[in-house]
Amino acid sequence: MKKILFLSGMILFTGLMFTNCTKDEDEPGLPTVAFNQIEGYVTGNTTAAYGDTLRFGIILQGNGSDNIVKFEIKANDETLLDSTINTSNFTFDFYSIKGTNAEDVWKFTATDIAGNKKEETITITGAFGELDSYVTVLMGAQDNVTVQSFLSLNNHSATRYFQAEAFNNQEKIDMFCFYEDANMMALASPGTGITGVFTGTTSPENYTTKNLTWFVKTSLTAAQFDAVQNDAIVLDSYDTDNDFRKAKLLTAGDVYCFKLQNGKYGLLKVIEVTGAATGTLEIAIKVQK
């Protein structure tokens, strides 16, 4: 019984000591930073695909005594907003578009007039698409009788066809290789409307299904192409103001972004160009799965 009473006394004593050592209940605390929890807002750590719209609703609340005088927003330690205010509470809505970073760390900081500071963070992790990669694809120009000129990127494969075979699979053809004095070694697609390059009844102008592929010359280097692991850089590289129906004057090291008839995007890197109308074009390709 003495042990029980002693223990109880220790608990009571400790409780009294704790009560006596705490700050005055009326002493102000920190400001708070909270996030709008309504559907459609970013409410905490989440994932996002490239190009997704991220809507933030920031709610700042003072401690009841000291006004909030400063509000900061940083993304990956880069200051995006540093605002001076003077209010007991504050709400701020904004949106951002998910870029190519694998991870973005957002920091939201409120500081009150007494120097009390509160920071909250949200991490957005990229949920990017996978790619089919083809290290080397060799294509022949229109008069090359030993290397196929036509290419299909259907069904997760890079399939090449000679002209007659391509005609029988025209719904699958995404590009063909050709050479002209004005364009030099080039790529185009049946939907481009090019005539007089391939001849005979199986030439692309006689197709009933003419897929159209668009090409954009990028500023990516060959090394940057090699480093691409997902579709974020692919999508970021496509410029609708500078897309063309041909990729011409192809030179080793060039990197093009392309958009297929089926809506998939990809990148191609020129590895080597040899010869003219009987020549070859070697490329590497990365395309959305």
pLDDT in tens, the chain (289 residues): 322 232 222 222 233 333 444 445 556 699 999 999 999 999 999 999 999 999 999 999 999 999 999 999 999 999 999 999 999 999 999 999 999 999 999 999 999 999 999 999 999 999 999 999 999 999 999 999 999 999 999 999 999 999 999 999 999 999 999 999 999 999 999 999 999 999 999 999 999 999 999 999 999 999 999 999 999 999 999 999 999 999 999 999 999 999 999 999 999 999 999 999 999 999 999 999 9
Q: Token pair for residue 191?
A: 């939907």
Q: How far apart are CA 205 and CA 203, in angstroms?
A: 6
102/145 same-domain check: no
Bridge partners of 258, per DSSP, are 215, 266
149/113 same-domain check: no
CATH number at residue 55: 2.60.40.10
The answer to whether position 17 is within a domain reads no
The model's pTM is 0.85
The answer to whether position 4 is within a domain reads no
Kindly give, in sequence order, each residue whose CB lies less than 8 Å from that of residue 23, ignoring residues fewer than 6 positions away.
none
Residue numbers of the domain that contains 32: 28-126
Which of 5, 125, 108 is CA-nearest to residue 57?
108
The answer to whether position 15 is within a domain reads no
Number of domains comprising the chain: 2
Last residue of a domain, one of 126, 159, 190: 126
Last residue of a domain, one of 78, 97, 126: 126
